[in-house]
Chains A and B, each alone.
Chain A
Amino acid sequence: MAEIRIIGVQKKFGGSVIIDDLDLVIGDGEFFTIVGPSGCGKSTILNMIAGLEAATGGSILFDGATVNNVSPQERDVAMVFQNYALYPHMTVFENMAFPLRMKKAPKSVIAREVGSVAGLLDLDGLLGRKPRELSGGQRQRVALGRAIIRKPRVFLMDEPLSNLDAQLRIAMRSEIKKLHDQLKTTTVYVTHDQSEALAVSDRIAVLDRGRIQQCETPRAVYERPANAFVAGFIGSPQMNFLDGSIGGRGGRVISCDGLELKTRQVTAGMSDTVTIGIRPEDITVTEKKRESGYKVEVLFFEPAGSFSWVDFKLGPHVMKGRSGIDSGLEKGDAAYMSFPVEKIHLFDRESGMRIG
């Protein structure tokens, strides 16, 4: 187990800078997730921690010791790959035993360790099979087994669940979480799936174009996104955004395209052109007008089980909200939407930074 400290790390490929001046501290035993859209550099960070790619600047420390020049086989990290990357010519047993064999562990130890890991991951009956004879979920568990078997200082997981179907993915992510609770090994988990990140992490770093946009607990990232990018990336369906400007006495009114929204007081001295964000799950759409409701036109009605998503038009803006399952709204209906004022997020329109 180890604390990972990344100080001023830079990565260049050819002429282009992928990661610039990255600072990150991942605590000992933490389940840390790096989440971001594809191409944001998250896998590059993971590969640099693993030693598969060299940082072109800055330093990476494990427990205070610089590991920049330590080769991957000596870093004592284990990695789970998106494509599983099992050795196809080896059986499940041999795959999981491989890291121990490379460490020249005695045969009896290998047999015992493989046995206990196989038990932990429910692979007992499959030890003699080749990877091609396994299902996707089983392969993923073998890959996990190969990673945990030698009790590394750090686990690295590069989108380990992206190749599984939706149901399995949710089952496996709680297995990974449980595994972490048992082993307490520092884990760095990379994913592009924000819901996965919210579900498993102790802390999340939201990455965009090689820069960390926010690095906090899942709850903080969801409830108080640091900027418009994080707000749009975290949460599903995506947050509604409206451009507007602050006005009225004490900045209590936001107007956008003739529409006036009452809001809580906004800190004075901020720029008055803003982007307003409201999560769809905070918007209630009803047939009958409620207090402080706004009249909207229903565009699309999408049942989601216990409730329904409603796409609607507020003035010129298309937005998403939710309604009861039996609201009976249809395309073209007039309806009313409302939301608690404390649930709205305000961002500076120029910089995208959160202002209230």
Chain B
Amino acid sequence: MIKRAGFYALLAVVMLYCAGPLAWQLITSIKPSGEIAVLPPLVSTNPTAAHYLSVFHDYSFARYILNSLIVAGSTTILSLLVGSICSFGLAKLRVPFASLVLAFILSVSMFPPIATVSPLYIIIRTLGLRDTLAALVMTHTVFSLPLTVWVLTNFFRTVPDDIYHAARIDGCRPFQVYWKIMLPLSLPAVYTTAILVFIFSWNEFLFALTFTSSSARTVPVAIALFPGIHEMPWGEIAAASVIVTLPIILLVLFFQRKIVEGLTSGAVKG
């Protein structure tokens, strides 16, 4: 009994810790401007949608969301396409020094973005890609590839070699094995990776701040730079934050059902 109570108490603490800021954000976003600074942050007696409307009216927030969707979507597709081909090779073909290659790829992700942002800025300016979505897609793809390759290589390695061999004998060239067998077979891992990459790109701040100035601005940067005339527009910031959380939640909910473990069960003797 005490054990159970302790468990629920712990659960409550963790819940509060994780969901607290989110709830505060949500509550703030529907408070009238005058009540925003009031503590404790309880739901207001006269909630308002003014901040939400303001976000779309007074700022070109729809444009920022579209930018973010394009960047995160393209990054995800590109990263998975390139990453999965690469992983297939590393996991199933006889690539010399595959482990070394893999370690090298992982080491790329060890550079802190702040250390690479200046040279990248110069490259992007030289290429004439400043303030374009392409600049963000490019850098986000590069920085998400280590994760993609790492996750997918390890997943592909769990697919029995015999399945690869069977497909080869059944008439597939190696690339056809990848496209017709490996990729459909690995959809759960692909979806998982897709979510992670999408979230990374959706939230990415530093590159987006550095490489864009106006037309290619993405949501995180836009929110941080919401201009206030006399004070910080906390209500709008809260409303915008809630809005940008929605796609992520929808994405996770949508793919969650697809991420079924044990899709490979039945292929081989388990």
Contact A85 B268 (CB under 8 A): yes
A223 within 8 A of B: no
Q: Is the C-beta of A136 less than 8 angstroms from some C-beta in chain B?
A: yes
Q: Closest residue to A87 on the B side, CB-wise?
A: B181
Minimum distance in angstroms from A109 CB to a CB of chain B: 15
Interface residues of A in 64-123 (CB under 8 A from B): 71-73, 75, 77-79, 81-89, 98-99, 102-103
Which residues in chain B, 233-270, are within 8 Å of chain A measured between CB atoms?
262-269
One of B167, B266, B269 near A88 (C-beta < 8 A): B266
Q: Give chain A nearest CB distance to B131 CB in angstroms.
A: 43
Please tell me if A320 contacts chain B, counting CB pairs below 8 Å: no
Residue of B nearest to A134 (CB): B266
> A139 contacts the other chain (Cβ, under 8 Å)?
yes
Q: Which of A125-133, A193-201, A207-215, A271-279 contacts B (4 or more CB under 8 A)?
A: A125-133
B58 within 8 A of A: no
A86–B266 CB distance below 8 A:
yes
A77-B169, A78-B169 as given contacts; A84 in contact with B268, CB under 8 Å: yes
Instruction: Collect the chain A residues with CB atoms within 8 Å of residue B173's CB.
Output: 71, 73
Our pick among B165, B168, B263, B267 for the contact of A84 (Cβ within 8 Å) is: B267
Interface size on B, residues (CB 8 A): 25
CA distance A261 to B173 in the complex (A): 63
Q: Tell me whether B269 and A81 are in contact (CB under 8 A).
A: no
Task: State A183–B185 Cα separation when bound (angstroms).
Answer: 32
Q: Is the CB of B170 within 8 A of A132?
A: no
Q: CB distance A52 to B170 under 8 Å?
A: no
Contact across chains for B172 and A81 when beta carbons are under 8 A apart: no
**Which residues of chain A are near B162, meaning CB under 8 Å?**
81-83, 85
Check B264 against A102 for contact (C-beta < 8 Å). no
Could you say which residues of chain A place their CB within 8 Å of the CB of B171?
Answer: 73, 99, 102-103
Contacts A81-B162, A83-B160 known; A73 to B169 CB distance under 8 Å? Answer: yes
Residue B166 is within 8 A (CB to CB) of chain A in the complex: yes
Indicate whether A50 reaches chain B with its CB closer than 8 angstroms: yes
B43 beta carbon closer than 8 Å to chain A: no
Q: Is A146's beta carbon under 8 Å from chain B?
A: yes
Contact B160 A102 (CB under 8 A): no
Verify A72–B266 contact, CB threshold 8 A: no
Tell me, in angstroms, the Cα distance from A50 to B167 when the chains sit together. 12
| Contact across chains for A83 and B268 when beta carbons are under 8 A apart | yes
Given contacts A85-B163, A102-B176, contact A133 B266 (CB under 8 A): yes
Residues of chain A contacted by B169 (CB below 8 angstroms): 50-52, 72-73, 75, 77-79
Within the complex, which residue of B165, B167, B176, B269 is in contact with A87, where a contact is CB–CB below 8 Å?
A: B167
Q: Is B184 interfacial (CB-CB < 8 Å)?
A: yes
**1/0 contact string of A289-300 vs chain B (CB within 8 Å):** 000000000000
Could you say which of B160, B168, B171, B176 has the most chain A C-beta atoms within 10 Å of its C-beta? B171
Distance in Å: Cβ of A37 to nearest Cβ of chain B: 21
The contact of B267 among A47, A86, A98, by CB within 8 Å, is A86
Query: Are A85's CB and B166's CB within 8 A?
Result: yes
Would A87 and B172 count as touching, CB distance under 8 A? no
CB proximity of A203 to chain B, nearest CB, Å: 24
Q: Contact check, B165 vs A130: say whether CB atoms are below 8 A apart.
A: no
| Contact partners of B263 in chain A: CB under 8 A | 88-89
Q: What is the chain B residue whose CB lies nearest that of A47?
A: B165
Q: Does A327 contact B (CB under 8 A)?
A: no
**Cα distance, A78 to B165, chains bound together (Å):** 11
Q: Given A79-B165, A83-B162, A89-B184, does the pair A139, B172 have CB atoms closer than 8 Å?
A: no
- Check if A265 is an interface residue, CB within 8 A of chain B: no
A111: min CB distance to chain B, Å: 18
Contact A88 B267 (CB under 8 A): yes
Residues of A within 8 A of B176 (CB): 102
**Does residue A163 face the partner (Cβ distance < 8 Å to B)?**
yes
Chain A residues with CB under 8 A of B262: 132
Given contacts A83-B267, A131-B267, 9 further A-B contacts (CB under 8 A): A72-B168, A73-B173, A75-B169, A79-B166, A81-B162, A83-B160, A102-B176, A134-B266, A136-B269
| 8 pairs of A and B residues whose beta carbons are closest in the complex | A132-B266, A102-B171, A88-B267, A131-B266, A85-B162, A83-B268, A85-B166, A99-B170
Listed A/B pairs (18) with beta-carbon separation below 8 Å: A50-B165, A52-B165, A79-B166, A83-B162, A83-B267, A85-B163, A85-B165, A85-B166, A87-B267, A88-B266, A88-B267, A102-B170, A131-B266, A132-B262, A132-B265, A133-B266, A136-B269, A139-B266
User: Which of A's residues lie within 8 Å of B, judged by CB?
Assistant: 47, 50-52, 71-73, 75, 77-79, 81-89, 98-99, 102-103, 130-134, 136, 139, 146, 163
